[in-house]
Structures are given as C-alpha cells and as structure tokens.
C-alpha cells in the first residue's frame, strides 16, 4: 500500500475512533482512565511517526505493520512511563494489541470495503476521514474533560502546626506545604484520597485508614504515635516514601491488616525506626519493597495470618528478635533484602526470638532469593512447620 500522508492520518484517526469506543467501554467497566489515556498516547505517537518517519515510505508491504507496531508499542509504553500513567502492564499490552489488531483489520479489510478506492486514494477516506478525525479528537477531549472533572479536589495544608485529628470523609488530595504538621493524627474514611508531604505528630495512630480503597500516602511522616504510625484496616493503600519514627513500647511503624479482599497494597521506599514492629501485615496482600527498617524490638518486617506478598530489596538493621518473619500460614517471597545486626531478645523464652535474620514459622512458606544476611545472631530459621525454599 502506498499511503499519502493525509491517507495515513485519516486512516489512523478513523481506526482510533473505533479503538476509542472500546477503550471507553473498558474504562467505564474498570473504572479507570488509563485505557483512554493509553489510546490518546497511541494516537499521538502514531501521528508523530506518520509525519516524521512513515511519510517517507513510498510503498509498504503488509508485513511492515509488524515492526511499525513494535516501534509504536515501545514509544507508547515509554511515554506511559515518562508521564506516570502507570496502567497494569498486562492490561496495557492487551489494550495495545487489541487496538493494533483492530487497526490492521480495518486497514486490510474494513476500509477497502467501506471505500472502494481506498488503496488507489492512498488511504484517504474523504469526508469520512475528516469526520472521523474530528470525532476522535472530540471523544478524547470529552473523556479528558470528564476525567478532569472527576479529579478529586486538592486541598493545601499551610505550614505550621494544625490540631488534629484531621478527619477526611470525601475524595480529595491533601497536599502539605513545607512545614505542615498535624498534631494528633489523620483519619481517612473516603476512597480516592491522597495525602502528600504532610507530617503527623503524636496521636494514637499517625494515619488511621479504614474501609476504603485507592488511598495514597506519599512522602508523609509520623513521629511519636502511641500505637501505629500508619494503621490500615480493611483498606487498600499505596504508601511511598514515608518516614515513621516510633517510640518504645507496644508500637508499630506500619500495620496493614484484614485487607485480603481489598486488593493489593504496597509499602515502598519508607524509612521506619523504633517500635516493636517495623512493617507488619495480617491477612493482607502486600508488597513491601525498598524500605529501610531499623531498631525494632520484636520484628523488623512481618507477614502474618495468611498474608501473601513480596518482601523485596529492603534493608533491615539492628532488629531485636527477628529481622524478617513469615508466620501463621503466610506465603512470602523474600528476595534481595539485606538483613544485618539482628540480635536475640533476652526477655523472651521464644526460640524464634533468638536473633534470626529470616524466619518462617507455623506452616508458612517463605521463598528466598539472593538475600544478604550478615551480623545476625542466627541466619535462617524455621519453626512449627514453617518452610523456606530457594537460597
């Protein structure tokens, strides 16, 4: 096929319109906007390539669609990453592949049936192509406007100390100005809440998140909470870049519990020091990745009570009792962590508290890979039917 530039653009806009309808359906079903954002990026990448690269091709046999598709896929996914759209990879690949197949079906069969002179006209669709272009842009603009309207409002918390507890009961983004501190904790009781750059001082729990989904705690810090720094129950959260300093006593840095049916939570890039437990999960599906946990008095990181998840690339130092624990019928993938300086708990008669870097207890299954253990009282331990596999 020998496309004119106009033919390429009209064909692309028309195919995109068809794909957009599918993407809107997927977006409504999820619900999420990334399918539409992905299609918009595909269209943008395609138009740029049409104008800068493909327009130089005088004739392209059918098989050119494969390398062109791979190039567009690579550039689209690169743009997805740069723009932080963050769709699920498998689903994004499926949407792209579906769109590519639909486009090929249209180019090879649909358009020639729709317009009998399609090939002779270099892919130009005439009035239908122009209408399709306008319609595609209109759908994208409409979807963008809808997405914009659905964005939660952003609330700025000014610098200084604000008396809490602060209770959030609607979807919103709370952004702390530099030096914004809430005394007494923040309670989150709404879905789609993001808290960014806010420090919490004291309170029973620094953050109390219950019965909600899609909560993001981004670069928050908690100092001096008397129970949990971040306390999550029956909820799905993304915690990234946080700092928690817990006082001595029965305190925990982050506790995510009873959330197995709420979707996967994630704790990434946090620094946690002090307290009995650094990061602990009960009956939850959680990824614990890239955190630094130090000076806990019972366990550094623990997955308990039938939890499932990955514990990956964390640094656990100076824990008393246990560095990383998989317990109570949990299934843990523990890989590429550094665990050091774990020492025995002198106040406990529990054999498992004798300073194990990694421990699997009570019918739990820990799959180990490339962990570095040094300076611990004991290396790897199993108790009460717990198992470890790998190295």
Partner 1 sequence: MRSESDGHCYPTSFPGLAVRAAGKGDVGALFATVSNRYRPTVDEFLEHVEQLGEHTGWNDRVRLGWVDRVRSTEGGFAVDEHGVYQHVLLAPGPPGLAIPDELAADSRAVHAYQPHEFAERVAIVGAGMAAATEWLNALAAGSTVVSVRRREPERRPLNVPRVMFSRRGLARFQTADPVARAAQLRQLLGPSYPPGRGWDEPLADAARDGRFTVAHEVNGEQQIVCATGFLQGFRHSPLLRRLVEEHDLPTHDRWIELDGDCTVPSLTDGSRTLALAGASAQWAYPAADTLVGAKYSARRFLRRVRSCPTP
Residues within the interface to partner 1 (CB under 8 A): 1-4, 7, 58-59, 61-63, 108-109, 112-113, 116-122, 124
DSSP 192-224: SEEEES-EEESSSEEEEEES--SEEEES-EEE-
Q: 4 or 369, CB closer to partner 1?
A: 4
| Identity of the residue, 4 or 154, whose beta carbon is nearer to partner 1 in the bound complex | 4
Closer to partner 1 by CB, 62 or 179: give it.
62
Specify the residue, 5 or 190, whose C-beta has the smaller distance to partner 1. Answer: 5
Rounded CA separation 153/82 (Å): 24
| 35 vs 129 by CB, closer to partner 1 | 129
Burial 181-212 (b: 16+ CB within 10 A, else e): bbbbbbbbebebbbbbbbbbbbbebbbbbeeb
CA-atom Rg of the chain in angstroms: 26
Alpha helix stretches (DSSP H) within the chain: 5-29, 34-52, 65-83, 89-105, 111-114, 127-150
Q: Which is nearer to partner 1, 5 or 85 (CB)?
A: 5
- In angstroms, give the least distance from the CB of 3 to partner 1: 7
| Contact residues for 99 (Cβ-Cβ < 8 A; gap 6+) | 15, 19, 22, 23, 39, 42
Peptide bond before residue 13 is cis, with ω within 30 degrees of 0: no
Beta bridge partners of 361: 327, 383
Report in angstroms how near the CB of residue 111 gets to partner 1 at its nearest: 8
| Minimum distance from residue 2 beta carbon to partner 1 (Å) | 4
Residue 306, classed as helix, strand or coil, is coil
Question: Least CB distance from residue 59 to partner 1, whole Å?
Answer: 4
Q: How far is the CB of 104 from partner 1 (least distance, A)?
A: 10
Q: For partner 1, which is the closer residue by CB, 79 or 119?
A: 119
- Provide, rounded to whole angstroms, the least separation between the CB of residue 102 and partner 1: 15
Closest CB 270 distance from partner 1, rounded Å: 52
Distance CA(62)–CA(98), nearest Å, equals 18
Non-local (6+) Cβ contacts of 290 within 8 A are 268, 269, 312, 313, 314
CB 203 within 8 A of CB 218: no
End-to-end CA distance of the chain: 56
Asked if 240 and 215 touch (Cβ cutoff 8 Å), the reply is no
Q: In whole angstroms, how close is the CB of 124 to partner 1 at the nearest point?
A: 7
Rank residues 116 and 349 by Cβ distance to partner 1 and give the closer one. Answer: 116
């Amino acid at each position: 096929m020998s496309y004119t530039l106009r033919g390429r653009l009209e064909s692309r806009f028309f195919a995109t319109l068809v794909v957009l309808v599918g993407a809107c359906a997927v977006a409504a079903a999820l619900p999420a906007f990334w399918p539409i954002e992905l299609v918009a990026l595909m269209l943008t990448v395609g138009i740029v390539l049409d104008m800068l690269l493909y327009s130089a091709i005088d004739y392209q046999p059918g098989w050119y669609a494969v390398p062109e598709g791979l190039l567009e896929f690579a550039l689209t996914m690169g743009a997805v990453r740069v723009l932080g759209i963050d769709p699920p990879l498998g689903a994004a690949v499926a949407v792209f592949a579906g769109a590519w197949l639909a486009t090929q079906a249209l180019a090879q069969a649909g358009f020639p049936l729709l317009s009998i002179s399609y090939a002779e006209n270099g892919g130009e669709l005439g009035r239908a192509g122009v209408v399709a272009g306008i319609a595609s842009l209109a759908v994208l603009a409409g979807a963008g406007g809808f997405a914009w309207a659905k964005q939660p409002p952003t609330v700025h918390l000014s610098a200084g100390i604000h008396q809490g507890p602060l209770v959030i009961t609607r979807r919103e983004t709370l952004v702390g100005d530099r030096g914004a501190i809430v005394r007494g904790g923040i309670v989150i009781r709404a879905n789609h809440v993001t808290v960014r750059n806010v420090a919490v001082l004291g309170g029973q729990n620094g953050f109390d998140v219950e019965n909600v989904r899609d909560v993001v705690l981004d670069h928050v810090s908690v100092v001096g909470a008397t129970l949990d720094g971040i306390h999550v129950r029956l909820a799905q959260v993304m915690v990234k870049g946080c700092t928690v300093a817990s006082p001595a006593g029965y305190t925990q840095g982050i506790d995510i519990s009873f959330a197995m049916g709420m979707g996967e939570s994630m704790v990434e890039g946090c620094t946690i020091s002090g307290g009995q437990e650094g990061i602990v999960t009960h009956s939850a599906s959680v990824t614990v990745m890239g955190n630094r946990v130090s000076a806990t008095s019972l366990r550094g990181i623990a997955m308990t009570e039938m939890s499932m998840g990955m514990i990956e690339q964390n640094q656990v130092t100076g824990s008393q009792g246990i560095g990383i624990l998989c317990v109570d019928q949990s299934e843990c993938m523990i890989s590429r962590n550094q665990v050091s300086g774990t020492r025995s708990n002198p106040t406990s008669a529990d054999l498992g508290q004798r300073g194990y870097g990694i421990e699997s207890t009570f019918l739990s299954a820990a799959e180990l890979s490339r962990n570095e253990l040094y300076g611990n009282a004991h290396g790897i331990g199993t108790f009460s039917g717990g198992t470890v596999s790998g190295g």
